[in-house]
Structure 1
């Protein structure tokens, strides 16, 4: 099974702006839900693109399950993000003006895509996520972020995403020359808080 191409849009059209934000929803969520988060972000002049996962999930098992158990859905999900980026590029948006926002499963997917395709983007926000795989396979990751700002917010503990994996993810992104900011909230739960929105706006969408 692979994901169909179903991209919801909001904000400005790609033809009428210079910036695009790609928003990736979590397991059980949908594109419309994640697009509604844009109301809290400084993205009033952006085109907003949110692909929809088939059956509301990008891949069936934990992001730390053996990678093969999440195929072919995982590779298809990565391709969906790549296609969404290409859609913006085809409309004349520059790579350095493409931004990302992912939550939970969408945050894992966002970070995985970025680490596999590191270059100078506008910036990224990943709330509760880490790089994907039972073990992190460094051979998958290449490129230079050229100091792209990446903000990762998480709870400790989080039932789905252990802090150990988040910290390992930060190290890899920094080794790829990303400007990473990490915020850890004790016992906050699997959600997004106001401080994370504030940091996202100050660090990424400024």
Structure 2
């Protein structure tokens, strides 16, 4: 049994909104952190869904540790997010209306998911995160990510996420055909800046709601 799938889910935003944001929190956090982050985006025509990780974390060790050191937790976390995505799509969310939003460990998890198990979606907003593991990975083949807007933001001297890993992650998305917007801002704290919030909100607003 996947321990992450039995956890609570926090939702907010207009229930009639066609755009749905799956918001994935960081290590040692709760879904409410993502709600506080989204409040900084301002009013948006989007519905947010934020699942909780079992024990507050998606996998136990830092994301740059050897892959096997984070197993089986990492595969369970990836499968749990895939299951959440599948449920949203199966219950009426259009692929073009689905946004993945992650911060810190959540951004790492989503980046790794999209680069190793690519799938179509409306957009991805990855704040302070990169693909998982100490070794380089190859960009995905196929056209799943072609044209998908991907926003990457991080801090130059973030204590947990090296800026070069964020940049490398961006290169992989570009190689896969995504429409990349990446910026590394000065600083030494593990935070989401106001600029990142504005950019994320602008991207979500640009998604065209479905008619009818």
Same topology, TM > 0.5 = yes
Change in 2 beyond 3 A, CA 1:121/1:42 = farther
Q: Partner residue of 2:46?
A: 46
Unaligned runs of 5+ in 1: none
Distance 1:117 1:43 in 2: 32
Q: Which runs of 4+ in 1 moved over 3 A?
A: none
Q: Secondary structure at the match of 2:3?
A: coil
- The CA RMSD measured in Å over matched residues stands at 1.8
Distance 2:4 2:105 in 1: 18
Unaligned runs of 5+ in 2: 207-212
Q: Partner residue of 2:135?
A: 135
Q: What aligned pairs does 1:1-206 form with structure 2 within 5 A after superposition?
A: 2-5=2-5, 6=7, 7-13=9-15, 16-41=16-41, 44-138=44-138, 141-144=140-143, 145-206=145-206
Is this contact kept in 2: 1:115–1:142, CA < 8 A? Answer: no
Is this contact kept in 2: 1:25–1:33, CA < 8 A? Answer: yes
Q: Secondary structure at the match of 1:205?
A: helix
Change in 2 beyond 3 A, CA 1:167/1:124 = same
Give the aligned length.
203
Render the CA deviation track for 1:49-85: whole Å, top value 9, x for unaligned.
1111111111111111000000111111111111111
Render the CA deviation track for 1:116-162: whole Å, top value 9, x for unaligned.
333432111111100011102327x3442121111111111122111
Distance 2:43 2:156 in 1: 29
Distance 2:159 2:44 in 1: 34
Distance 1:53 1:116 in 2: 21
Distance 1:30 1:136 in 2: 30
Instruction: Tell me by how many angstroms 1:43 deviates.
Output: 6.1
Instruction: Tell me by how many angstroms 1:45 deviates.
Output: 2.8
